[in-house]
Structure 1
Amino acid sequence: MGVRVLLIEDDETIAEPLADGLRHFGLTVHRVATGAEGLAGPYGDVVLLDLGLPDIDGIDVCRGIRQACDVPVIILSARGEEADRVLGLELGADDYLAKPFSVRELVARIRAVLRRHTPQSGDQEPSYDVGPLVVDRRTRQVWVGEEPVTLTPKEFELLALLSEDAGAVYSRQQILNRVWDEHYDGPTKTLDVHVATLRRKLGHPAWIQTLRGVGFRLAVNPADGSS
């Protein structure tokens, strides 16, 4: 599969030629015009983010994406001020390109950040497929069928752990040790809250099954299971 780009840019006169140019280089482009749409994902393999958005400041969008996952972010902006560039990079953006720029230069930057983010062969983060559920550890993205599912970092780690061996039972302590901390001694209720939220976000409560007094497991086929 080719490189998937999420372009968050509200100016049609910039977005359309840019998207066409990127497609010319073989990239798949999904373009949205607002920060809210951008935050909703899916983020693809790399995010191109304009700072001057109509609804949410691009800096806040960058912050929100970085809190959700570690997909590479390249900021595109007419703002040439040093402060914006530094702030964007401090928030976790991987690169910053001031307008105007050439598509060729942007593609070179995209390839560079992807090289930095992609594990070397032998260290490739796995992707888990459980029926219609896909959990991609490299991009930290989740889909049920064609629908992207937006998760917090802890929700993602919990689901990824259960996906490692779908159908196998993980004890509450195993999950707390792996997803939270091996010395975690807070309320175990937080695990139940995260499981409940995951069930809701996945769209079917039977995706995660409870074995009373034992722990939880990811259903191989939730249509046949029950919570």
Structure 2
Amino acid sequence: MPSVLVVDDEELVARSVAAYLEADGVQARVAGDAREGERLWRETRPDAVVLDVRLPGTSGLDLLRRMRSDADRTPVVLLSGLGSVDDRIIGLELGADDYLTKPFSPRELVLRVHALLRRGDIHPGDGSRPVTVGPLTLEPSTRSASLAGSEQVLAPREFDLLLFLAQHAGSTFGTRELLRRVWGWDFGDDSTVVVHVRRLRRKFEPDPSEPMLLTTVRGTGYRLGTADELTASLAEASR
């Protein structure tokens, strides 16, 4: 049975979310603040975390920062207040995988959590087979990625996005299509994709301000180069 940690100082919200998760076959634990949340996260190693941004004392963003600084890849769904755009952007920058704005439907949250728990299922073919695009190699079995032999630690959604683009190297995808095919959403904020692309560029591009590998096709979307293009771009950058 998968397990989920719910960290929210609003007890009614936390208990309601936990009840919906457990009714759907997920073991749920509840923490009322970041300190208790961090303790339970370290002790139980849940399969996913539902994390409120605005917690008393240490914020949810600070807890997320600690998790990712430990190279932890546990999927995280952020809960943010209505209109808290900055919190959502910062959370995605820190490595959150999804977010919902309060007030929200507990049922919708359960669906989002299940989507994260089965995120590998959206990719066709043999999920354990490495995907190679020139100097870029992705290992779905370990969810690791390396460029020219240099391995990078990726958050779950970063890996999902890069894997999808690598499986379709040379093709261009708009943000809406990426939300649908990588996140499994028919709705959502374009900034979710924009932030994840920016994070990937910081980790793989020789100069993130002048991307050569994962480029923007103006008015269309994002494109990961072909094997020959990635090889040529790295060679040019090393001159």
Cα pair distance change 1:47/1:117, threshold 3 Å = farther
CA root-mean-square deviation: 2.3
Deviation, 1:100, is: 1.4
Q: TM-score when scaled to structure 1?
A: 0.50
CA contact (8 A) 1:52 1:77 kept: yes
Q: What is the correspondence of 1:90-101 to structure 2 with a 5 Å cutoff? A: 90-101=93-104
Q: What CA distance in whole angstroms lies between the structure 1 residues aligned with 2:23 and 2:51?
A: 20
Asked if 1 retains the 8 angstrom alpha-carbon contact of 2:80 and 2:88, the reply is no
- Aligned partner letter, 1:106: L
| Preserved CA contact (<8 Å) 2:82 2:103 | no
Q: Per-residue displacement from partner, 1:113-135 (whole Å, max 9, x unpaired)?
A: 2233679653545xxxxxxxxxx
**1:62-116 deviations in whole A, cap 9, x for unaligned?**
1111112110010012243211111100000000101111122112211222233
Structure 1 spans left out of the alignment, 5+ residues: 126-138, 140-227
Tell me the equivalent position of 2:16.
17
How far did 1:43 drift?
A: 3.5
Matches within 5 A, 1:100-115: 100-115=103-118
Q: SS at 2:118's partner residue?
A: helix
Amino acid at match of 2:54: G
Matching residue's letter, 1:65:
M
Distance 1:47 1:80 in 2: 22
In structure 2, the gaps of 5 or more residues are 129-139, 143-155, 157-239
User: What does residue 62 of structure 2 align with?
Assistant: 60
When structure 1 is superposed on structure 2, of 8-17 and 87-96 the one drifting more is 8-17
What's the counterpart of residue 37 of structure 1? 36
> What letter is aligned with 2:8?
E
TM-score computed with the length of structure 2 as normaliser: 0.48
Contact 1:72 1:117 in 2 (8 A): no
